[in-house]
Amino acid sequence: MNTAWVGARSSATPSQLDALARAIRITPIIDHHAHPLLKLEALAKHPLLSITSEAHNGDGVHSAIHSLPHLRAVRQLSAMLNCNNTWEDVVAAIEQKRIDSPLEWTAQCLDGIETLLLDDGLDDGDDAQDMVWHNDYTRSECKRIVRIEKVAADIIKRIGKTCDASPRTGQDVLNDAYDDWIGELDTIINEAIDDPNVVAFKSVICYRTGLQVASTVNEVEARAAFADIISNFALLDFAKLQVAALNDLVVHRTAMLIRDSPSKQKKPIQFHTGLGDNDIILAKSSPAHLQNFIRAYPTVPIVLLHAGYPFMREVGYLATVYEHVYADIGEVFPCVSEDGQEQVLRQILELCPWSKILWSTDGHWFPETYLLAVTQMREVFTTVLTNYVRKGHIGYKAAIDLAQDILFRNSNKLYHLDIDFMELDEEPGAEVGPYASDLELFQLFLKDQPPPDFVRICWNDYTATPRMRMIPFRKFKTLLDQGQPTDISIAQAVFGLIQNDHLVPSIAPIGEYRLHPDFSSLRPGPTEGHVSMYGEFREKSGAPVALCPRSQLQKAVDLGAQNGLTFLLGFEIEFLLLERVEGADTSATLSLNSLNPFKHRPAEASGRFSTLVTDGHAWSVSRYFADPKVANLLRDIVHALDSMGIYVEQIHAESATGQFELILPPYPPIQAVDTLLHTRDVMFALATAAGYKVTLHPKPFPTACGTASHTHMSISSPGGDKPEVYEPFYAGILKHLRAITAFTYSNPASFERLKDGAWAGGRWVTWGTQNRETPLRKIEGSHWELKAMDGLANPYLAMAAVLLSGIHGYMEREKLIWGDCEIDPAKLTPNDRAELEVTDMLPASVEEALTALKGDEKLVEFLGPEVVERYCAVKEFEMAFLAEMGEEERRNWIMERY
């Protein structure tokens, strides 16, 4: 069993998951712990690199460029700034924003934030904007958080300067000064307690002497420490409180004043815990050290900031067992990698009630810190919470409440802000984000076009037969408007059928799957009055179906993303154009005896189609397009695709009579395959309407060039063009290429094309730079072409096998042992082959390819034994059926269906 799919029990529909994702995307944020932004003229004083790092100087901050948080930030910022994916280009684009539109850029960075609760006690405070300035960028007024150590230190500075200038230096003076310090500290804290613009206090004792706060104040030690500072004030260059007795006193004093205040609405104390710069002693930054202090003040709300990273479970535990303790999960966005952020959220939620969890940016100095924190939080919340819903750990409505509580309601209540909850408005007609609901996507899709007659939900089976279900538009729209599921019940036998609907004998027609449409794949067509999208199969529980080809490709994409790899695929569609013969018996088709599926009467299809009459057809010739019927058809295909947002890159004549090639643009893998299949449907429909037949038969003429479905691949993630990244990837593909061939060359006709010296990729397992006689052709950098694939392959399964092999090659650091083959591998001498490691040949038949697949234990593991077993069973049943036909009969039979 493929354990990757085990454990999902949710009955949540895609619409419900989309509703959760939308709530995460548009819930306004009460940023309960942040810092002021710098004045424009002060921005250059601070390193922009610090936006993803707690290192603030020297090699520490500069080495941030080699961290996962930095690389992720570069990817995200470059996309938002529409610049190249390098740090240098991001910096240049940000500096241009500061020149051209600083206010607009700041507004964009703080978009979605309801209000800021600002700790203005950072160093270099004179370089920062005041609290009121920030109100222009939030819907509700910003509030202040008082940093108590700074207040205490500022009072000491004033007292120290006064005493240093006084001739009186005796103990009485020091005692009076200490009492003045306590009195002034109490006054400021009490004023802040009464000040409606102050909503909380903040302690950075973690930075000063650690979180091991004494259970009680030691007055004798505190007085002695204070006297020592004042007596030596001129020599100390005093800036910060660094004495445990005094720091403990300040924290206890603040807590006592809050506790004893007459107001029932007690203002919280926030404690920095865990993650910080190198001032922190990490061993003393665990919030577990605060437990005695927490017990001492049960009526004083206490907020443990920054998830205590890396002490997340300690934070979650304390917030769970103490009613007045709350867990913040800020600052890890964006200072921790995506995987780490997901772990933070999961570990907090392992134990802690979400009513005790708050979220903040810890944004400071640069507006980009806010932008990255919010963007990454929404991504991670969506990933983690939708996964919980899919697994049945929480209902989708409860998950929406969880997100809204953490982002808004909990802070609103704790800090007594009394802000009305109001979801952020999305501009009508604006481009929807990646987590838009099905209804939003559908409404946007229909905005500029008339309602269709039918909605198609499509899939591709194990024989690469394109199949679909159609729903009248009115019915489909009603389901969406009412929030009803739009998935369709399909028999589980769907992945056990061959082209004539006969079922593999070992599979029973029992049970059903649910076909879930993916609304992001919506396209008009392929015929007028129709719209189409592709679906994924799921169990009734909502769990993905391991046998689903599209889900297999998604699994590969997900594995790549987990390892920092993303991909672009671009397909070339080679096709043969045939003329339909008027008056031919179009009703004549193969029939099957119900008792024996391999008994059939002869087909009469050979008279249905004829090759085009041409004046010397050849590769890339121009004369072919002088035929107005052919030229008009090819023009109509390109125009139709253009109207669907599919922008053809090239179209030209190929070598065989009536053969052409249409080149699609590169897309991410799922979108690329969806686009490929939809494009083929458009081509088939328009050709039929014009009196032609399009076929993808791999070898339509024994002595002419074959017809392929070449695939261009590149690694689009940062560093993808580095040999140390792409060489192990392509080494993994070559290592498993014999087994992969079972998916890419899936029909006996495929092996009729598999020839040496025919520009078809040849028969040898190898690669070569710009060598069209190798199955893998290197073009440039990570851009390579897979030539060993044709139009009879299921492209989801084929590309899943290819990408999974390559990703595991990257993960295992496979060596590209094959040398760059510069000539036709068939012409290599034995010594040349040994030197280039060209020792294996591709399978020579479907049967041999299936044997290679079954024997490749790793690829079976990658895909899942269940998938390989089912695929082999279907192909073997199909081969037995095709073997009963004569060569010409089989050729026509395949042309009718592909």
Query: Looking at the structure, do residues 307 and 385 belong to the same domain, yes or no?
Result: yes
Residue 602's pLDDT is 33
Residue 425: pLDDT band by 50, 70, 90 thresholds? low
Highest mean pLDDT among 151-165, 336-350, 880-894: 336-350
Query: Looking at the structure, do residues 394 and 449 belong to the same domain, yes or no?
Result: no
Q: How far apart are the first and last CA of the chain?
A: 33
User: Which of the two residues, 144 and 473, has the higher pLDDT score?
Assistant: 144
Q: Residue 429 domain-assigned?
A: no
pLDDT, tens digit, 9 for 90 and up, residues 571-625: 999 888 888 776 554 433 333 233 233 333 333 334 567 777 666 677 767 776 7
Residue 380: pLDDT band by 50, 70, 90 thresholds? very high
Q: What angle do CA 37, 40, 45 make, to 5 degrees?
A: 85
- The whole-model pTM stands at 0.58
Q: Residue 608 domain-assigned?
A: no
Q: Residue 810 domain-assigned?
A: yes
Spatial contact of 81 and 94, defined as CB atoms under 8 Å apart: yes
Q: Please state the domain count of the chain.
A: 3
Residue 412: pLDDT band by 50, 70, 90 thresholds? very high
Query: What average pLDDT does this structure show over 766-793?
Result: 89
Residue 757's pLDDT is 65
DSSP 3-state assignment of 100? helix
Residue 723 has pLDDT above 80, yes or no: yes
Per-residue HEC secondary structure of 554-622 comes to HHHHHHHHHCCCCEEEEEEEEEEEEEECCCCCCCCCCCCCCCCCCCCCCCCHHHCEEECCCCCCCCCCC
Q: Which residue has the tokens 């063009």?
A: 721
Residue 166 has pLDDT above 90, yes or no: no
Residue 691's pLDDT is 85
Q: Rounded CA gap, 391 and 624, in Å?
A: 57
- The CATH number of the domain holding residue 473 is 3.10.20.70
Residue 281's pLDDT is 82
Query: What average pLDDT does this structure show over 416-430?
Result: 67
Query: Looking at the structure, do residues 404 and 503 belong to the same domain, yes or no?
Result: no
Query: What average pLDDT does this structure show over 178-186?
Result: 94
Task: Find all residues with CB under 8 Å of 518, minimum gap 6, and list them.
Answer: 14, 533, 534, 535, 536, 674
Residue 867: pLDDT band by 50, 70, 90 thresholds? very high
Query: Looking at the structure, do residues 409 and 511 belong to the same domain, yes or no?
Result: no
Percent of the chain predicted with pLDDT > 70: 89
Among left, alpha and beta (phi > 0; psi -120 to 50; other), residue 56 is: alpha
Average per-residue pLDDT for the chain: 85
Query: What average pLDDT does this structure show over 301-328?
Result: 95
Residue 165's pLDDT is 53
Cα distances (Å, whole numbers) of residue 147 to 118, 133, 202: 10, 19, 5
- The CATH number of the domain holding residue 672 is 3.30.590.10
Residue 40 has pLDDT above 80, yes or no: yes
Residue 206 has pLDDT above 90, yes or no: yes
Q: Residue 585 domain-assigned?
A: no
Residue 365: pLDDT band by 50, 70, 90 thresholds? confident
Tokens at residue 501, please? 């609907």
Percent of the chain predicted with pLDDT > 90: 43
User: Which of the two residues, 120 and 13, has the higher pLDDT score?
Assistant: 120
Residue 441 has pLDDT above 80, yes or no: no
Domain range enclosing 81: 14-415
Query: What average pLDDT does this structure show over 822-826?
Result: 84
Cα distances (Å, whole numbers) of residue 213 to 246, 253, 269, 318, 603: 11, 12, 14, 16, 90
Query: Looking at the structure, do residues 189 and 116 belong to the same domain, yes or no?
Result: yes
Residue 655 has pLDDT above 70, yes or no: yes
Q: Rounded CA gap, 201 and 179, in Å?
A: 22
Residue 445: pLDDT band by 50, 70, 90 thresholds? confident
Residue 232's pLDDT is 83
Residue 728 has pLDDT above 90, yes or no: yes
Query: Looking at the structure, do residues 462 and 410 belong to the same domain, yes or no?
Result: no
- Residues forming beta bridges with residue 577, ordered by sequence position: 694
Residue 429's pLDDT is 40
Residue 57's pLDDT is 53
Q: Residue 575 domain-assigned?
A: no
Domain limit, last residue, from 415, 450, 467:
415
Q: Residue 488 domain-assigned?
A: yes
User: Which of the two residues, 600 and 665, has the higher pLDDT score?
Assistant: 665
Query: Looking at the structure, do residues 459 and 373 belong to the same domain, yes or no?
Result: no
Spatial contact of 254 and 201, defined as CB atoms under 8 Å apart: yes
Query: Looking at the structure, do residues 507 and 389 belong to the same domain, yes or no?
Result: no
Query: Looking at the structure, do residues 167 and 120 belong to the same domain, yes or no?
Result: yes
Residue 278's pLDDT is 74
User: Which of the two residues, 370 and 174, has the higher pLDDT score?
Assistant: 370
Among left, alpha and beta (phi > 0; psi -120 to 50; other), residue 573 is: beta
Closest CA to 655 of 693, 617, 622: 617
pLDDT, tens digit, 9 for 90 and up, residues 494-522: 898 888 888 888 888 888 888 988 888 88
Query: Looking at the structure, do residues 510 and 659 belong to the same domain, yes or no?
Result: no
Q: Rounded CA gap, 885 and 893, in Å?
A: 9
Q: Rounded CA gap, 340 and 338, in Å?
A: 5
Q: Cis (ω within 30 of 0) for the bond into 668?
A: no
Question: Environment class of residue 98 by beta-carbon count within 10 Å: exposed (0-12), middle (13-18) or buried (19+)?
Answer: middle
Residue 435's pLDDT is 45
Q: Cis (ω within 30 of 0) for the bond into 544?
A: no
Residue 583's pLDDT is 55
Query: Looking at the structure, do residues 402 and 514 belong to the same domain, yes or no?
Result: no
Per-residue HEC secondary structure of 184-234 comes to HHHHHHHHHHHCCCEEEEEECHHHHCCCCCCCCCCHHHHHHHHHHHHHCHH
Domain limit, last residue, from 372, 396, 415:
415
Residue 434: pLDDT band by 50, 70, 90 thresholds? very low
Pick the range with the lowest mean pLDDT from 101-105, 434-438, 556-560, 855-859: 434-438
Domain limit, last residue, from 545, 566, 583:
545
Q: Residue 435 domain-assigned?
A: no
Query: Looking at the structure, do residues 791 and 682 belong to the same domain, yes or no?
Result: yes
Pick the range with the lowest mean pLDDT from 15-24, 354-363, 642-651, 678-687: 15-24
Residue 726 has pLDDT above 80, yes or no: yes
- The CATH number of the domain holding residue 88 is 3.20.20.140
Residue 410's pLDDT is 96
Q: Residue 642 domain-assigned?
A: no
**What b-and-e string marks burial along 346-376, b requiring 16 or more CB atoms within 10 Å of the CB?**
ebbbeebebebbbbbbbbbbbbbbbbbbbbb
Residue 267's pLDDT is 96
Query: What average pLDDT does this structure show over 5-9?
Result: 32
- Give 196's Cβ-side CA count (13 Å radius): 3
Query: What average pLDDT does this structure show over 377-394?
Result: 89
